[in-house]
Chains A and B, each alone.
Chain A
Amino acid sequence: MSLQIIKGGMLDTIRDEGRFGFQYAGINPGGAMDVFSMRIANILVGNNMREAVIEMHFPSSVILFQQDTIIALSGADFTPVINEVAVPLHKPIHVYSGSILKCKQLKKGARCYLALKGGMNIPAWLHSSSTNTRVGLDGIIGRTIHTDDIISYKNEIPQSLHQTTFHILPWMAGIKWDFSSIADDTIYILPGHEWGRLTDEAKKDFTNEPFRITALSDRMGYQLEGKVLYTDSKEEIISSAVCFGTIQLLPGGQLIVLMADHQTTGGYPRAAHVITSHLSKLAQMKAGDKIRFQLTDIKTAEEFLVKQERHLQQLQLACSTRLQEYLNQS
């Protein structure tokens, strides 16, 4: 019971929510960039939301399902096809043995998540299956996925003898959790500890001017290009912990947003922090995209996160019932 990588993608890795509890030793969490989409994909196939999935970047891997399983895709739209027929995101798909998944074209977003019913057999290191390419781990979590990798399914589902292709199940996960009218390019932030160092003009520019994500952007961080931001103080900062979403002000007056593979500590001024519920949105932006930052408060940040979580829980309830009904019938 496994899938086979027929052709490795550019940067496909195994991710779960991340490796927590070891940042004191300099080990970053390194979880999925877009945890929200990772969870949606898991929910659609009836998994625990925290189950490890494949995080794909474009061009992504070509995957052969050697036996029947149920999959779901969420996050970026890479124009996925199975056996050359277009398939949608955000719907469970019953794929039969011999089916081949590939992605044709990057349409929208930056990272697409593939979940498999029951999960995959992936080794864990320090309680997480998120890939870390730095520390010399054995097996698939020590590197990117490549051609000829075989990943086995954790669970079997009843195998169909007659089907040769795939079947899209007739329900869909709504991914909209926030019904306020926030523009697509707007990211909410909270002021950082050194926000007050910015000059009045820099503070205005921070939230009024767009910032472009440069090519120097990856899972560690996004370097931004925009108005140069000046400070009133150049006082040295003693290194301390940072987090996913911390926006640091570089000495030249440019910004960098720390992402999922960020270093655990930093010594640049913490100008601001992206609110947790907007990290997923940010994770789907890529080089060339423009961001507009808008200041908010902790109360709003928490309300958004609670709303996002409630949406996921309701979705999980609805999807698991429908999936169970489907499996009982077949």
Chain B
Amino acid sequence: MSDTTGDDSSNIAGKQIKMLEEFTYQIFPLGDSAATVQLGNTINEAINKRIIALFHHLKNNPIEGCREIVPAYNSFTVYFDILIIKQKHSVGSAFDFVKRKLEEVLAIPIRYTEKESSLMRIPVLYNSDGLGFIAEEKKLSVEEIIEIHSSVEYRVYMSGFLPGFAYMGEVDERIAVGRNDKPSRIEAGSVGIAGRQTGIYPFHSPGGWHIIGRTPLKIFDSKKEVPALLQAGDRVQFYPITAHEFTDY
């Protein structure tokens, strides 16, 4: 981990975060044993950076009785143990206690210290059915779609759906297509597009994203200490490979 707020680009991010500290947030219960903090009402990088910063801060400085934190696009959720909290703090509900603690954390300026994330480059054999669909829908050639998808640096906003499934954005408007109406069977390693998001299926699964290619990389390896290849906050870029390179990988 290194503090990158020193350079120019992060100064800009720093300013955005400062603005966000004055940005409205809400804290609401998710049942009796969890609390969600939501920042704003849109998907954008600055909000997500603030979410990830808070996620890391709370992991390192856990609130008493909290068992885990789950970050998402513009929110994070804290799961707590009512019994542990009630034992020590009998006034009000466990949710009230966690909410108070979260308000304290939200009041302090937490700088976004991103992992020294060298750009993760992911090889993709672009040859799947979704290419034809997008080509027709968007009046583009397959080569143009590949060029557009692989020329952008994406950010992992959150994980969910399947173990290790990372939601990445933002996909260029020119190749952004909505989900399939009917989910189909999707192979592990498939790279798909849904709206302005792109993602890789770590396992074979039913899914509704338009698949444009496959990566030979193992996206989730349960034998590794950190099984998921991609984590919220990571930077990712795809690059095209040939069928030969795919089989030799």
Query: CB within 8 Å of B: which residues of A?
Result: 20-28, 125-126, 132, 134-137, 190, 192-193, 238-243, 245-246, 263-266, 270, 273-276, 298-299, 301-302, 305-306, 309
Interface size on B, residues (CB 8 A): 47
Mind listing 9 A-B residue pairs with CB under 8 Å? A24-B232, A26-B163, A134-B162, A238-B43, A240-B72, A241-B34, A264-B159, A265-B159, A299-B93
Q: Is A193 within 8 A of B36, CB to CB?
A: yes
Which residue of A137, A241, A276 contacts B32 across the interface (Cβ within 8 Å)?
A276
A235: nearest residue on chain B (CB-CB)?
B41
A20 to B232 alpha-carbon distance, docked (Å): 18
Given contacts A26-B159, A26-B164, A239-B167, contact A275 B227 (CB under 8 A): no
Does any Cβ of A come within 8 Å of B29's Cβ? Answer: yes
Q: Number of residue pairs across A and B with beta carbons under 8 Å?
A: 139
**B94 to chain A: which residues have CB within 8 Å?**
302
> Residue-by-residue, is B87-118 near A (CB-CB < 8 Å gives 1, otherwise 0)?
00000011100000000000000000000000
A243 to B93 alpha-carbon distance, docked (Å): 19
Does any Cβ of A come within 8 Å of B160's Cβ? Answer: yes
**A21 to chain B: which residues have CB within 8 Å?**
67-68
**A246 to chain B: which residues have CB within 8 Å?**
30-31
A126: nearest residue on chain B (CB-CB)?
B227
A27: nearest residue on chain B (CB-CB)?
B163
Query: CB within 8 Å of A: which residues of B?
Result: 28-34, 36, 38, 41-43, 55, 67-77, 79, 82-83, 86, 93-95, 158-165, 167, 203, 220, 222, 227-228, 231-232
A23 to B165 alpha-carbon distance, docked (Å): 11
**B68 to chain A: which residues have CB within 8 Å?**
20-24
Q: Is A125 within 8 A of B222, CB to CB?
A: yes
**B159 to chain A: which residues have CB within 8 Å?**
24-26, 264-265
Q: Is A273 within 8 A of B30, CB to CB?
A: yes
Which residue of A135, A241, A301, A309 contacts B70 across the interface (Cβ within 8 Å)?
A241
A-B pairs with lowest CB-CB distance, top 9: A265-B160, A273-B31, A241-B77, A241-B70, A301-B32, A240-B72, A26-B159, A25-B228, A240-B75
Q: Is B164 within 8 A of A25, CB to CB?
A: yes
How far in angstroms is the closest Cβ of chain B from A148? Answer: 24
Given contacts A238-B41, A240-B72, contact A265 B158 (CB under 8 A): yes
**B77 to chain A: which residues have CB within 8 Å?**
240-241, 243
Q: Is B32 within 8 A of A273, CB to CB?
A: yes
6 A-B pairs besides A265-B160, A273-B31 with CB distance below 8 A are A25-B164, A27-B163, A134-B162, A240-B72, A276-B32, A306-B82
A241 to B79 alpha-carbon distance, docked (Å): 10
A245 to B220 alpha-carbon distance, docked (Å): 27
**B67 to chain A: which residues have CB within 8 Å?**
20-21
A90 to B55 alpha-carbon distance, docked (Å): 42
Q: Is A239 within 8 A of B30, CB to CB?
A: no
A107 to B247 alpha-carbon distance, docked (Å): 54
How far in angstroms is the closest Cβ of chain A from B164? Answer: 6
How far in angstroms is the closest Cβ of chain B from A212? Answer: 23
B28: nearest residue on chain A (CB-CB)?
A193
Which residue of A136, A192, A238 contacts B73 across the interface (Cβ within 8 Å)?
A238
**A242 to chain B: which residues have CB within 8 Å?**
30
B85: nearest residue on chain A (CB-CB)?
A302
